[in-house]
Amino acid sequence: GNSVTQMEGPVTLSEEAFLTINCTYTATGYPSLFWYVQYPGEGLQLLLKATKADDKGSNKGFEATYRKETTSFHLEKGSVQVSDSAVYFCALTTNFGNEKLTFGTGTRLTIIP
Amino acid sequence: EPEVTQTPSHQVTQMGQEVILRCVPISNHLYFYWYRQILGQKVEFLVSFYNNEISEKSEIFDDQFSVERPDGSNFTLKIRSTKLEDSAMYFCASSVGWEGYEQYFGPGTRLTVT
C-alpha cells in the first residue's frame, strides 16, 4: 500500500533560518507528490506538487524535488518568515484514476522573530 | 476566492448519538471527499463521491458512516452511532476534476465524542 513518513515536529526556527522538512514515501505505482500547508484556523492548502521524477515543485520560496531513487520529497526554504508558521503535510496520490490523497502526520513549524 | 466551508467548527456529542457534519464545496466542483485526522495521527481518506454516488471508500468508512449531497450544494457526512474513537478533525474537500486536479479543503470540523 501507500504510505508517507515525514519529520516529526514540532519544529521551531528563528526568522531567516534555513528550513528542511523531510518526507519519504512508499507507493504502488508511480505517485504524484504534494506538500499541503495548514495555517491556523484554515483548511489544508496545496503548497506545491511534482508529478514525475526529478521535477521540482516551488511556491512562495518553498521547494521540493521528487527523488525517485531515494523515494523522498523534502521541503526546503532558504529564509523562513514568521508568516510561514503553520502545519505542513506531505502527501501522495497514485494515478490509477482515483485521486485520494495519502498524507503524512504533519509537521508543526513555528518561526520566532 | 471561492472556498470550501464546513459547519460546525466544533461538535461535541455523546457516545451513541448521531451527528451530521456539513460541507459546502466550491460551486462548480464535481468531486467530493471526506478525510479525518485523529489527534496526533495522519490525515486519513474516508470516502470520495461523484455523480451522486460513492466512488471509493476506505475500511474506516463502515456501515455507521454515510454521505449525501441532498440539495446540490451541501455535502454531508453522517455518523449514525458515534463511538469515542470517532473523535477527530473531519475535513471536506472538493475538486473540479479527477486526475491531476487540486483538491480544495475546508477548515475542518472538530468532533468530540464523550
- SS3 sequence, chain A? CCEEEECCCCEEEECCCCEEECEEEECCCCEEEEEEEECCCCCEEEEEEECCCCCEEEECCEEEECECCCCECCEEECCCCHHHCEEEEEEEEECCCCCCCEECCCEEEEEEC
Q: Which residue of B has its CA nearest to A46?
A: B102
Is A13 touching B (CB cutoff 8 A)?
A: no
Distance of residue B29 Cα from the nearest chain A Cα, in angstroms:
14
pLDDT in tens, chain A (113 residues): 889 999 888 999 999 999 999 999 999 888 989 999 989 878 889 999 998 899 999 999 999 999 999 999 999 999 999 999 999 999 998 865 557 899 998 999 999 99
> Which residues have CB under 8 Å from A45's CB, separation 6+?
A36, A37, A38, A39, B105
Is A43 touching B (CB cutoff 8 A)?
A: yes
Using alpha carbons only, give the angle B67, B107, A10 rounded to the nearest 5 degrees. 120
**What digits encode the pLDDT tens for the residues B50-105?**
999 999 999 999 999 999 998 888 999 999 999 999 999 999 999 987 666 788 99
> Which residues have CB under 8 Å from A99's CB, separation 6+?
A93, B31, B48, B95, B98, B99, B100, B101, B103
**What digits encode the pLDDT tens for the residues B30-56?**
999 999 999 878 899 999 999 999 999
> Which residues have CB under 8 Å from A46's CB, separation 6+?
A34, A35, A36, B102, B103
Note which residues in 35-94 of chain B have CB less than 8 A from chain A: 35, 37, 40-45, 48, 55-56, 58, 91, 93
Separation CA B75–CA B23 (nearest Å): 5
pLDDT score of A95 = 61
Amino acid at position A103, single letter: F
pLDDT score of B100 = 65
Is A41 touching B (CB cutoff 8 A)?
A: yes
Taking CB atoms and an 8 Å cutoff, what residues of chain B touch A105?
Answer: 40-42
User: Three-state DSSP class for B30?
Assistant: coil
Nearest to A43 among B44, B48, B108 (CB): B108
pLDDT score of A94 = 80
pLDDT score of B23 = 97
